[in-house]
Homo-oligomer: A and B are copies of this chain.
Amino acid sequence: MRIAVDAMGGDHAPDEIIAGALEVLPQLGQEDSLLLVGPQELLEAKLAAASYDKERLTIVDAPDVIGMDEKPVDSLRKKPRSSIGVLAKLAKLDRVEAVISAGNTGACVAAFQMRMRTLPGVVRPGIAVVFPTLTGPVTICDVGANIACKPINLYQYGLMASIYSRHFLGVQNPRVGLMSIGEEEAKGNEIVKKTRDLMRSDPRLHFIGNIEGRDIFRGVCDVIVCEGFVGNVILKLTEGTVDGLFRAIKQELMQEKPELALMFKPIIMRVYRKHDYNEYGGAPLLGINGTALICHGASKARTIRNAVLTAKNCHTQKINDKIMECLSEARTSDGEED
């Protein structure tokens, strides 16, 4: 398969992105190739000293870059030759089967949606992030693709994320929880209440009902469905809380028992690594017609390497075929037609 990687996306581009691509190339099959998308001259210079299979790693020129803070749609219009824009075009023209970027998330979602389109039956795609927890990986969808969710969107996120959890993470019968402000039936806003009715009436979903913020790390479910605004806050807050807590522990150690700090560091590092969602290599934009992975802005070579392997795995597992099959059944069982 052919995978296009945005060489200019994220805080550590292009060096870390290139490093990740070079690192993962030998781990792919001979039939797989990578396309690094970015300013030709810059990338050529960066690759000049590297030794790699030049047949399977090529450069696609994209002279412009969309900044992390630019307005998604405006920037795509103004910079059609940006790396994100070119990435989306490559997918549209069937020149690649997968795209990967650690760049501006909003611009990625807008570009991929516009060019690649959604799978038949999918109303709006959603970004799914996998959180590693003590009790196993938890998939949260959506974390920011759709900040004006309707019940049908949330319901479809539940179906798509269940398929991802089952076929990509190997969770047999993923339990689905709906993020709300209390476990009780009566709690939640109107969208939550309507989504709950949709989810409950679909026997293919292993729906466990409402969950609360505190349940994410408690192992009560394998898939969490929420509106993109809330999901984005969850994603970033978890990151911030973990960082803040580690800093607080460090400060306390240095003040009270500096001799303990050194002994304790490897423990913290191990916990950190086990809870690092970069391990899962990029968040899939579920529901898009193709394979698109969006990586954290702070992505390093390891994240990019993992994202490439994730893209390959999604493709091999035919996640999209399973989503289409599921949603066409859903429509039939609802008595709706296209």
The verdict on A179 contacting chain B, using a C-beta distance below 8 Å, is yes
The verdict on A244 contacting chain B, using a C-beta distance below 8 Å, is yes
Residues of B within 8 A of A214 (CB): 236-237, 239-240, 243
Chain A, 162-196, CB within 8 A of any chain B CB: 179-184, 186-189
Grouping DSSP codes into helix (H, G, I), strand (E, B) and loop, the A interface class, with mixed when no group exceeds half, is: helix
CB <8 Å contact, B260 and A235? no
CB <8 Å contact, B189 and A213? no
CB <8 Å contact, B217 and A241? yes
Which of A77-85, A268-276, A283-291, A302-310 touches B?
A: A268-276
Residues of B within 8 A of A243 (CB): 214, 217
Residues of B within 8 A of A24 (CB): none
Q: Given A237-B213, A248-B134, A275-B245, decide whether A71 and B263 contact each other with a Cβ distance below 8 A.
A: no
Give min CB distance, A167 to chain B, whole Å: 26
Indicate the size class of the contact surface on chain A.
35 or more
Which A residues form the contact surface with B (CB < 8 A)? Answer: 69, 71-72, 106, 133-134, 144, 147-148, 179-184, 186-189, 212-218, 226, 228-230, 232-245, 247-249, 251-253, 256-257, 260, 263-264, 266-268, 270-271, 274-275
Give min CB distance, A225 to chain B, whole Å: 13
CB <8 Å contact, A267 and B242? no
